[in-house]
Amino acid sequence: MKKTLMILFLIALLSLLPFFVGKYILYMTIHILLLSLFALGFNLLFGYTGLLSFGQAGFYGVGAYACAKILLVVPSLLLGILGGVAVAGLVSLLLGLLSIRHTRIYFSMLTLCFGMMIFSLAWKWRDMTGGDDGLVGIPRAPLEIPGLFRINMAAMESYYYVVLVFSILAIFIFYRLVNSPLGLTLQGIRDSETRAACVGISVRNYRLISFTIAGLYAGLAGALLPPLENTVTPPVAHWSHSAEPVLATLLGGIYTFAGPIVGSFLFYIIKDIIVRFTEYWLICLGIIVLVLVLGFRGGVVSIFSQKGDR
Partner 1 sequence: METLAFQGLVGLSLAMYLWLLAAGLTIVFGVLGILNFAHGSLFMLGAYFAFTFYGLWGVNFWFAILLSLLSVGIVGYLMERLFLRHIYHLDHAYQLLLTFGFILIFDDAVKMVWGGVAKIPAMPTFFEGTFSVLGRLFPIYNVFIIGAGFLVALVLWLLFEKTWWGRMVRASASDREMASAIGVNIPTLFTGVFVFGAMLAALGGALGTPVRVVAPGIGAAMIIQAFIITVIGGLGNLKGAFVGAVIVGVLSAYSILLFPVFELFLIFVIMAVVLMVKPQGLFGR
Q: Which residues bind partner 1 (CB under 8 A)?
A: 46, 52, 54, 98, 101-102, 104-106, 108-110, 112-114, 116-117, 120-121, 123-126, 239-240, 243, 246, 250, 280-283, 285-290, 293-294, 297
Burial of residue 158 (CB within 10 Å: 0-12, 13-18, 19+) is middle
Q: Which amino acid is located at 310 in the chain?
A: R
Provide φ and ψ at 256, rounded to 5°.
-125, 155
Closest to partner 1 by CB, 8 vs 97, is: 97
Sign of CA dihedral 26, 31, 37, 40: negative
With beta carbons less than 8 A apart as the criterion, state whether 118 and 128 touch: no
Closest to partner 1 by CB, 104 vs 150, is: 104
Q: Can you tell me the distance from the alpha carbon of 173 to that of 287, in angstroms, rounded to the nearest whole number?
A: 34
Closest to partner 1 by CB, 51 vs 228, is: 51
Closest to partner 1 by CB, 113 vs 156, is: 113
* Residue length of the chain: 310
Closest to partner 1 by CB, 108 vs 158, is: 108
Closest to partner 1 by CB, 28 vs 102, is: 102
Considering the complex, what minimum distance in angstroms separates the CB of residue 36 from partner 1?
19
Considering the complex, what minimum distance in angstroms separates the CB of residue 287 from partner 1?
7
Give 3-state DSSP helix, strand, coil % of the chain, rounded to 5.
Answer: 75, 5, 20
Considering the complex, what minimum distance in angstroms separates the CB of residue 56 from partner 1?
14
Considering the complex, what minimum distance in angstroms separates the CB of residue 12 from partner 1?
36
Considering the complex, what minimum distance in angstroms separates the CB of residue 147 from partner 1?
43
Considering the complex, what minimum distance in angstroms separates the CB of residue 294 from partner 1?
6
137: left (phi over 0), alpha (psi -120 to 50) or beta: left
Q: Are strands 135-136 and 231-232 parallel, antiparallel or unpaired?
A: antiparallel
Closest to partner 1 by CB, 157 vs 272, is: 272
| End-to-end C-alpha distance for the chain, whole angstroms | 26
Considering the complex, what minimum distance in angstroms separates the CB of residue 252 from partner 1?
14
Q: Can you tell me the distance from the alpha carbon of 46 to that of 25, in angstroms, rounded to the nearest whole number?
A: 30
